[in-house]
Each structure stands twice: as structure tokens, then as C-alpha cells.
């Protein structure tokens, strides 16, 4: 799959860091560093504009290292970039740590994962087929 991209950032295009990587890291395009207080959130621009083929989406996902080391995560994870969106890719970051966290210009703040999807059509019904689980949810399949 090819994705058309315009890169208005001062950084190289995101790339897969290993042969088995699912995502590509995106960088913060900032004029200066910013600091997020605990539970504060912000929109980080990336300078990237995408043309994703129909039938695909780009998912904006947290970076595990950023979450572990700094307590930063993507607030709406995974965020979805639809195939018909042409604006700049942004990342909504939130600081879940107990301390203020600084984000530097060029810092890797999230990853993009491209995924194929299928669109559903509703089949309106009066009942659903029975299963062992039934309506149990939110931990109902575990014993403890």
C-alpha cells in the first residue's frame, strides 16, 4: 500500500525502525519545548499531511517508551485518521504522571499504524444468537 504524504516538518519522514515494526514514530513539530502539568493535555502537530487509500485508516497510537518513562500517552488511543481527511496529522497527548513533563521539538510522540478495515451494514433483528458468554462483559470471562 502506498500513502501519499506532504512533509512540512523539518524532520525526515517517519519510518519503520525494524523489519517487523508495525508502526512508524512521528515527531513533534514545535517552535519551542512545551511542558504539560499532571493531567494536562495538548495537541501536538506533526507537519504531516496524508492521502490514505480508501479502505484503510491510520491509527495514532502511544509510544510505550514515552508512556513508561514520562507518563505521556495518546488521549484518544488509538486515534483514527480517515482516508478522506487532508489536514495536518495531530497527536493529542496527555500527561498521566504526577510531575510536569517537557516535550522537546522533534521528540517522537506517537506512532502511526496503517490498517485495512471493513465497513459494516446493519442487519436489524429482534433477537441475537445465544452464546455461552451471553451478555456478560467487563471481566465476566475471568474466574478472579
As for how many domains the chain has, the answer is: 1
Q: Is-contact 89 80, C-beta < 8 A?
A: no
Q: Do 113 and 57 meet the contact criterion of CB atoms below 8 Å apart? A: no
> Per-residue confidence of the chain (144 residues) as pLDDT tens digits?
999 999 999 999 999 999 999 999 999 999 999 999 999 999 999 999 999 999 999 999 999 999 999 999 999 999 999 999 999 999 999 999 999 999 999 999 999 999 999 999 999 999 999 988 888 777 777 665
Q: Pairing mode, if any, of strands 56-61 and 108-116?
A: antiparallel
Tell whether 17 is covered by a domain.
no
Q: What is the pLDDT of residue 143?
A: 63
Rounded to the nearest angstrom, the gap between the alpha carbon of residue 101 and the centroid of all alpha carbons in its chain is 19
136 found inside a domain: no
Contact, 44 vs 28, CB < 8 A?
Answer: yes
User: Minimal CA–CA distance to 101: which of 30, 50, 33?
Assistant: 33
In this prediction, residue 60 carries a pLDDT of 98
Q: Does residue 132 sit within a domain?
A: no
Distance CA(47)–CA(110), nearest Å, equals: 13
Question: 77 lies in which domain range?
Answer: 4-8+25-116
Per-residue pLDDT, 32: 98
Position 100 scores a pLDDT of 98
* CATH number, residue 74: 2.70.40.10
Residue 144: inside a domain, yes or no?
Answer: no
Q: Are 48 and 6 in contact (CB under 8 A)?
A: yes
Amino acid at each position: 500500500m502506498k500513502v501519499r504524504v506532504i512533509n512540512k516538518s523539518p524532520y525526515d519522514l517517519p519510518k519503520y525502525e525494524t523489519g517487523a515494526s508495525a508502526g512508524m514514530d512521528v515527531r513533534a513539530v514545535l517552535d519551542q519545548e512545551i511542558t504539560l502539568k499532571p493531567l494536562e493535555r495538548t495537541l501536538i502537530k506533526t507537519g504531516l499531511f496524508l492521502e490514505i487509500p480508501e479502505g484503510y485508516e491510520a491509527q495514532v497510537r502511544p509510544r510505550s517508551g514515552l508512556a513508561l518513562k514520562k507518563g505521556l500517552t495518546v488521549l484518544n488511543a488509538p486515534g483514527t485518521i480517515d482516508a478522506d481527511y487532508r489536514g495536518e496529522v495531530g497527536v493529542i497527548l496527555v500527561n498521566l504522571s504526577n510531575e510536569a513533563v517537557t516535550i522537546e521539538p522533534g521528540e517522537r510522540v506517537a506512532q502511526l499504524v496503517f490498517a485495512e478495515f471493513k465497513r459494516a451494514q446493519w442487519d436489524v433483528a429482534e433477537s441475537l444468537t445465544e452464546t455461552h458468554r451471553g451478555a456478560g462483559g467487563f471481566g465476566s470471562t475471568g474466574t478472579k
